[in-house]
């Protein structure tokens, strides 16, 4: 394991695949930091009462709007088939069961029509190679929920090396970020009586050894940060109350989060403490055997982690050390022990160019595989440490086109990697490869839609300030440039998240093939600033007071689609969620003339209040602090405040989930109420479960996405 904790692992609002449902989750009353239960309407915000998430009056408002939206959109011709088609994709037994290795077993969490909440199961590699592997079920979540009268959603399992007999199982009520963790015995297949249990809260447990864990959670008053994450990490011994656990590190209330974790790599066992100050600044300490902490001496903005002998550094800004400047977005390595002893010798493993960035690095037993983006196209390179330097070579058998993902099968024991490859029109394939040898294809996703008549292109457009912005477009080969093609433009533009080409049966079936299967929907993804397509510089370009550049980029792509007569404003729809929901809010309020329909999903919208709502304070490094002079620029992209009742806006669909304890549902509720009061063409839907996503089950997810596409086709498909 690498345990130099990457910052984005805490509270990220990243939405990386609109078609597959959002990552992440959401709700727990214990984690609320916004005081919304006492929130009343003010002269400045008559809708603030909707911030009380579970109030009777508020939930009555939600249910009334849900019924209205479901009656409108659910009654559209073809809705039932659309919902059924989407659910069939989500429930398909032909999906690739992704696995991870623990000892000799390969584990998978699986949901389908028979396993609504899912099963945690395992098989052998020999079985996994077969078309129909034999699986051994470890935990049946549906059966557990029935026995306990709960609605648990799987959050993962961490098992103790090397026997992997003791596991920590994380379960969330309804999909919230807040979860509980319980010790589970793989031999008895039972939760351990009087074992380690973390009560429901944001945070986590991490094994140190069979009798000790690190725990970070809600320990009571004052133990959580203003962002709603743990402020204190403790060492907890078996057989003792959690209240007696020893404090390892205590952060400040204004920090984002504190955590402690254990690196279990044989021969390199170490403990680390991470203080996440904000999304882009943190401190990491090595915790020594006597409990003292030694800070890894690098700038707070530096991404860092430790792998065996190596300290890996990725500067977010240009960094001068020893008379040399290391470029932002580089990947540097140093001997960890030497660095901690004061030596400052670095090796550059990757240096970005104007068109390249580092998408990721996967370490195996003897190598590291770099996943490099060049104009948003993947390229794999292998580096191997040798006496006197690092050897570079190409990754054997990597596909020439398509989006490529790489992960280690077992970074401690082998040089094998999993490789996935896919594209907008190319179903995902999964291969296993020993570095230096040709990959062995193990699994292929079925074709969920007819792509034979479509083609993928990449284009570039010049934004308002002269920046070259890429975008992908998927369309029929025989598309007419008459401005009459229903077109869906998707974007995100934040938190250094890259929008990569990938296969989505839902987008293909529901949009590219069209409501009657005849085709005609054009799909576009904009790689705007704020994302990570060109590394930290691309992200930094749209931070805080420069946020408008992400919106200018997106508007430039929309205008280019219109200018090229691919579509027209009445045929152009746009969709985005989370931070992308804020993007949509700004398209609505600042560029309404460009669009015929807008879908706003689990959004931030009220940027005056966002830092006081749930995890909002954790994103001030991205947007700024509205309670300071930052409001002078934040108000220029706060969609809730920018809304003008006198302006004309395109038809809008806003949706969120009640159990989103990351982005407060009040953002979506209040915007819908404001638009509704002004007589605008808006409809609202709120899934009661789902967390920061489209649903906790395939049934919920299929319904949510069917509502999305029914709305888009109803508005954009009309002649």
Q: Which are the catalytic amino acids?
A: 578, 692
Q: From CA 250, how far away is CA 297, in angstroms rounded?
A: 19
CA 36 to chain centre: 26
Exposed/middle/buried for residue 43 (C-beta within 10 Å: 0-12, 13-18, 19+): exposed
Q: From CA 236, how far away is CA 214, in angstroms rounded?
A: 6
Question: What's the CA angle centered on 309, arms 303 and 314, to 5 degrees?
Answer: 15
Name 52's Cβ contacts closer than 8 Å, sequence gap at least 6. Answer: 36, 37, 39, 58
Tracing tokens 């790599």 back to the chain, one arrives at 265
Give the chain's count of helices (H) and strands (E). Answer: 14, 39
Instruction: Please say whether the beta carbons of 206 and 158 come within 8 A.
Output: yes
Beta strands in 339-486 (DSSP E): 347-350, 356-363, 368-374, 378-386, 389-394, 403-408, 416-422, 429-434, 440-444, 454-462, 468-476
* 3-state DSSP assignment of residue 592: helix
If you count them, how many residues does the chain have?
A: 719
Angle, in degrees to the nearest 10, between helices 698-716 and 56-73: 60
Question: What's the CA angle centered on 99, arms 97 and 104, to 5 degrees?
Answer: 135
CA separation, residue 641 to residues 275, 289, 608, 609, 613 (Å) = 34, 53, 8, 11, 16
* 3-state DSSP assignment of residue 339: helix
CA separation, residue 675 to residues 77, 610, 672 (Å) = 27, 19, 5
Instruction: Please say whether the beta carbons of 553 and 463 come within 8 A.
Output: yes
Ramachandran angles phi, psi of 683, nearest 5°: -135, 155
């Amino acid at each position: 394991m690498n345990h130099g904790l990457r910052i984005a692992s805490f509270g990220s609002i990243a939405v990386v695949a609109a078609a597959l449902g959002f990552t992440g989750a959401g709700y727990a009353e214990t984690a609320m930091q916004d005081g919304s239960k006492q929130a009343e309407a003010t002269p400045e915000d008559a809708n603030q009462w909707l911030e009380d998430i579970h109030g009777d009056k508020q939930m009555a408002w939600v249910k009334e709007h849900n019924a209205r939206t479901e009656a409108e959109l659910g009654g559209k011709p073809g809705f039932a088939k659309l919902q059924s088609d989407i659910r069939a994709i989500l429930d398909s037994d032909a999906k690739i069961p992704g696995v991870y290795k623990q000892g000799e077993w390969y584990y998978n969490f699986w949901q389908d029509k028979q396993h609504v909440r899912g099963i945690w199961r395992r098989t052998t590699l020999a079985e996994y190679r077969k078309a129909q592997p034999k699986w051994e079920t470890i935990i049946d979540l549906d059966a557990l929920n029935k026995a306990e009268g709960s609605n648990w959603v799987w959050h993962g399992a961490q098992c103790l090396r090397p026997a992997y007999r003791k596991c920590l199982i994380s379960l969330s009520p309804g999909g919230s970020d807040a979860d509980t963790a319980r010790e589970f015995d793989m031999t008895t297949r039972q939760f351990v009586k009087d074992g380690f249990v973390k009560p429901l809260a944001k945070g986590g447990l991490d094994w140190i050894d069979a009798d000790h864990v690190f725990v970070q959670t809600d320990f009571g008053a004052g133990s959580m940060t203003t962002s709603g994450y743990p402020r204190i990490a403790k060492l907890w011994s078996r057989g003792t109350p959690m209240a007696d656990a020893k404090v390892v590190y205590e952060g400040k209330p204004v920090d984002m989060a504190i955590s402690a974790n254990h690196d279990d790599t044989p021969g390199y066992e170490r403990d680390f403490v991470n203080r996440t100050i904000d999304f882009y600044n943190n401190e990491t300490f090595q915790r020594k055997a006597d409990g003292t902490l030694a800070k890894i001496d690098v700038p707070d903005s530096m991404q860092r982690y430790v792998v065996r002998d190596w300290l890996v550094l990725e500067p977010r800004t240009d960094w001068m050390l020893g008379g040399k400047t290391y470029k932002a977005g580089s990947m540097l390595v140093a001997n960890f022990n030497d660095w901690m002893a004061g030596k400052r010798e670095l090796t550059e493993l990757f240096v970005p160019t104007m068109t390249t960035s580092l998408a990721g690095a996967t370490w195996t037993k003897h190598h590291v595989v770099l996943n490099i983006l060049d104009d948003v196209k993947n390229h794999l390179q292998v580096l191997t440490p040798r006496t006197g330097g690092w050897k570079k070579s190409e990754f054997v058998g990597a596909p020439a086109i398509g989006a490529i993902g790489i992960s280690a099968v077992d970074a401690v024991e082998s040089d094998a990697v999993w490789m996935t490859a896919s594209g907008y029109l190319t179903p995902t394939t999964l291969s296993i490869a020993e570095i230096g040898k040709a990959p062995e294809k193990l699994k292929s996703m079925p074709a969920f839609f007819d792509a034979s008549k479509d083609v993928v292109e990449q284009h570039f457009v010049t934004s308002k300030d002269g920046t070259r912005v890429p975008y992908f477009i998927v369309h029929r080969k025989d598309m007419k440039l008459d401005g009459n093609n229903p077109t869906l433009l998707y974007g995100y533009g934040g938190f250094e998240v890259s929008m990569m080409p990938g296969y989505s049966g839902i987008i293909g079936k529901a949009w590219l093939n069209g409501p009657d299967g005849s085709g005609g929907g054009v799909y576009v993804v904009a790689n705007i600033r704020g994302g990570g397509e060109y590394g930290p510089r691309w992200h930094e370009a749209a931070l805080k007071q420069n946020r408008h550049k992400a919106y200018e980029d997106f508007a430039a792509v929309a205008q280019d689609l219109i200018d090229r007569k691919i579509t027209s404003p009445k045929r152009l729809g746009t969709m985005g969620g989370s931070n992308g929901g804020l993007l949509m809010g700004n398209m609505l309020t600042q560029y309404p003339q460009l669009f015929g329909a807008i879908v706003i999903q689990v959004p931030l919208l009220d940027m005056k209040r966002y830092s006081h709502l749930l995890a909002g304070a954790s994103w001030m490094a991205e947007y700024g602090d509205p309670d300071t002079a930052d409001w002078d620029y934040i108000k220029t992209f706060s969609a809730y405040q920018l809304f003008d009742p006198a302006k004309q806006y395109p038809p809008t669909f806003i949706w969120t989930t009640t159990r989103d304890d990351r982005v407060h549902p009040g953002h979506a509720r209040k915007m819908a109420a404001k638009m509704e009061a002004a007589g605008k063409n808006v409809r609202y839907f709120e899934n009661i479960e789902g967390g920061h996503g489209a649903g906790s089950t395939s049934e919920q997810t299929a319904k949510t996405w069917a509502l999305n596409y029914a709305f888009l086709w109803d508005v954009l498909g009309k002649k």
